[in-house]
């Protein structure tokens, strides 16, 4: 079922179809170079599919169905289309021998068949997934904040380059993010839902990083779901930027310092998912075999629609949409690719 579709009053795309396609490539070229430089990352090739039962695929909130199929050539062995590469990246850093201060990024394409579609959500997901080796002394909130600031600077740099090429694009992005925990956000806006809190704080401050996502707050609720076996819920967060076109907070990145053995055991127990500890990936964390890392995903289509001031993610990516949404967009002058 789709979420509600929002049509901005008087919306008209500022770039035509061909200009949009050119601009998408330009954004991706500029941003990934800026991100690579800011965080010292190498580009690597990543999988679209992984073996079923390997424990490598992202379980997201633990309820989303994966796209799976059997492989004829391997006696019917089953594979899954990835939902994200949060775990694969950490394994890759171990296999490739990366050291503290070094990292990787990749173009990640995924299918999330159970996502509800709207202006910002598609069943097709494209991200720059990145991961970096850190030391134990860097598993701190200060290191997390510094990394967020570097990513925001790369986004702002890209925005300025895009505006030089396409002066019709006018929205500015606040370069200094506000950092606030999900707990403090709930205290600040006790009568609002988590989504409403995100919009309220982002409208006031422009660029916001909401920290500590996944665990229960003092009110017994979770700000948002997060799998228990990749982010440390005390050292993670979501990056939001105010979108003038949609008049709402747009989440461009989910990221965090990854679990160590202690955080993994605690979070698996809280989530009732101790059975995952049998997987090789989880055993390697418990045995301190895998490196300590920080990582995340930055939405490619999300960033493109923000920088190009688009009203719908389908204006910058090709996907499948409910027919009703297609017709509503067409009537409003929103051209879906």
Q: What is the mean pLDDT of residues 106-125?
A: 84
125: its two tokens: 């997901």
Q: Is residue 9 part of a domain?
A: no
- Does the pLDDT value for residue 326 go beyond 50? yes
Range of the domain at 192: 17-331
pLDDT number for residue 63: 66
Mind giving me the DSSP string for 178-235?
EEEEHHHHHHHSTTS-HHHHHHHHHHHHSEEEEE--SSB-TTS-BSS---TTSEEEEE
Question: Which pLDDT tens digit goes with each residue over 68-101?
Answer: 788 778 777 888 887 778 788 999 999 999 999 9
pLDDT number for residue 6: 85
* Nearest alpha carbon to residue 285 among 41, 42, 40, 56: 56
Which residues are tagged catalytic?
Answer: 58, 112, 127, 238, 251, 254
> What is the number of alpha carbons within 13 Å of residue 322 lying toward its C-beta?
15
Return the SS3 of 125. Answer: strand
Q: Is residue 90 part of a domain?
A: yes
CATH code of 215's domain: 3.30.930.10
- Does the pLDDT value for residue 2 go beyond 80? no
pLDDT number for residue 231: 92
265: its two tokens: 């055991």
Measured between alpha carbons, how far is 222 from 61 in angstroms, rounded to an integer?
Answer: 12
Per the structure, the count of domains in the chain is: 1
- Does the pLDDT value for residue 162 go beyond 70? yes
Q: Is residue 121 part of a domain?
A: yes
What is the pTM (predicted TM-score) of this model? 0.90
Q: Is residue 5 part of a domain?
A: no
Percent of residues, the chain, with pLDDT higher than 70: 96
Q: Is residue 12 part of a domain?
A: no
Residue 248 belongs to what H/E stretch? strand 248-258
pLDDT number for residue 60: 63
- Does the pLDDT value for residue 304 go beyond 60? yes
pLDDT number for residue 1: 41
pLDDT number for residue 324: 87
Measured between alpha carbons, how far is 263 from 131 in angstroms, rounded to an integer?
Answer: 18
Q: What is the mean pLDDT of residues 230-258?
A: 95
What is the greatest pairwise CA distance in the chain?
Answer: 57
- Does the pLDDT value for residue 55 go beyond 80? no
pLDDT number for residue 310: 94
Q: What is the mean pLDDT of residues 33-38?
A: 96
Which residues, 6+ apart, have CB-to-CB distance to 131 below 8 Å?
Answer: 89, 90, 92, 93, 103, 104, 105, 258, 293, 294, 295
Question: Which pLDDT tens digit goes with each residue over 182-231?
Answer: 999 999 999 999 999 999 999 999 999 999 999 999 988 899 888 898 89
Q: Work out the mean pLDDT of the chain and round it to a whole number.
A: 90
Q: Is residue 4 part of a domain?
A: no
H-state helical runs in the chain: 17-39, 86-96, 141-165, 182-188, 194-205, 261-271, 280-286, 300-307, 323-331
- DSSP-derived secondary structure letter, 9: T
């Amino acid at each position: 079922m789709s979420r509600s579709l929002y049509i901005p009053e008087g919306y008209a795309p500022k770039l035509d179809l061909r200009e949009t396609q050119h601009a998408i490539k330009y954004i991706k070229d500029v941003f990934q170079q800026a991100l690579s430089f800011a965080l010292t990352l190498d580009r690597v090739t990543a999988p679209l599919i992984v073996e079923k039962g390997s424990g490598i695929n992202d379980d997201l909130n633990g309820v989303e169905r994966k796209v799976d199929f059997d492989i004829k050539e391997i006696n019917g062995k089953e594979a899954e289309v990835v939902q994200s590469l949060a775990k694969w990246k950490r394994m890759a850093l171990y296999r490739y021998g990366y050291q503290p201060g070094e990292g990787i990024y990749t173009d990640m394409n995924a299918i999330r068949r159970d996502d509800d579609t709207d202006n910002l959500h598609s069943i097709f997901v494209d991200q720059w997934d990145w991961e970096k080796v850190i030391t134990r002394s860097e598993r701190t909130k200060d290191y997390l904040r510094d990394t967020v600031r570097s990513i925001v600077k790369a986004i702002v740099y890209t925005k300025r380059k895009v505006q030089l090429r396409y002066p019709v694009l006018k929205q500015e992005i606040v370069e200094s993010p506000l950092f606030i925990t999900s707990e403090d956000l709930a205290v600040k806006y006790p009568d609002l839902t988590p989504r409403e809190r995100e919009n309220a704080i982002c409208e006031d401050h422009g660029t916001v990083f909401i920290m500590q996502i996944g665990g229960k707050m003092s009110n017994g609720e979770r700000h948002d779901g997060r799998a228990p076996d990749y982010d440390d819920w005390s050292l993670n967060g979501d990056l939001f930027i105010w979108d003038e076109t949609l008049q709402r907070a747009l989440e461009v990145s989910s990221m965090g310092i990854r679990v160590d053995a202690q955080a993994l055991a605690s979070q698996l127990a809280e989530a009732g998912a101790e059975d995952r500890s049998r997987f090789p990936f989880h055993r390697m964390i418990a045995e301190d075999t895998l490196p300590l890392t920080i990582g995340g995903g930055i939405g490619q289509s999300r960033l493109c629609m923000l920088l190009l001031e688009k009203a719908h993610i389908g204006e910058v990516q090709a996907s499948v949409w409910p027919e009703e949404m297609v017709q509503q967009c067409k009537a409003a002058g929103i051209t879906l690719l």
